[in-house]
Amino acid sequence: MPVYILTLRIDQKSQDFFDQQRKAYFPKERNLLDAHLTLFHHLVEYDDIVNFLKGLVVKQFDLEVNSLRFLGNGVAYKIESEELNTLRSKIAQRFWNNLTAQDRQGYRPHVTVQNNVKAEVAKELYHTLSEKFVPFTCYALGLDLWEYLGGPWKHVDYFPLA
């Protein structure tokens, strides 16, 4: 049975920034994806997902990027948005019985720009980026649905926000 991943599409300027960061800091041999803000890592039942997401009426909203997060073996930009949390909760409620433990745990939105490196390398990058960091706003435009292919992802659908 195919597994699907749901991500939030953001404005192109912010996407370009996160992609540049990821290309610069993510181990090249493991960097199979563009930067992304994941809402769910493991969804099933494609038709149910599509029908539900097509019926959602959610306006575009702002996302605040206010700090970095040290991940132990990587670094991410922390994302804050009540609208995002509400949207994710609504989707989680609908698919709760099919969610994995990872998707049921507390949601901490972020965009990972480095992962799978030694802790000291990650800590150094975290401090370097934190020193220069200036908070900024990005914009949520829609939801992207991807099929997980055992490493890379295949884009299968897009659901624009109003």
pLDDT (tens digit per residue) in 72-97? 999 999 999 999 999 999 999 999 99
Gyration radius of the chain over CA positions: 16
Q: Which amino acid is located at 17 in the chain?
A: F
CA end-to-end distance (rounded Å), the chain: 31
Q: Are 158 and 9 in contact (CB under 8 A)?
A: yes
- Residue 73's alpha-carbon distances to 11, 94, 118, 122, 162, in angstroms, are 27, 33, 6, 6, 37
Kindly tell me if the per-residue pLDDT of 13 is higher than 90.
yes
> What is the average per-residue pLDDT within 124-142?
98
CA–CA separation, 140 and 86 (whole Å):
13
Average pLDDT of the residues in 115-130: 98
H or E segment and range at residue 82: helix 82-95
Average pLDDT over all residues of the chain: 97
Structure confidence at residue 29 (pLDDT): 87
pTM as predicted: 0.95
What residues contact residue 101 under an 8 Å CB cut-off, 6+ apart?
Answer: none
Confidence of residue 20 (pLDDT cuts 50, 70, 90): very high
Q: Domain boundaries in the chain?
A: 4-160
The arrangement of secondary structure in 4-160, i.e. its CATH architecture, is Alpha-Beta Complex (3.90)
Its sign, for the CA torsion 80, 86, 87, 89, is: positive
Indicate the angle between helix axes 46-55 and 82-95, nearest 10 degrees. 140
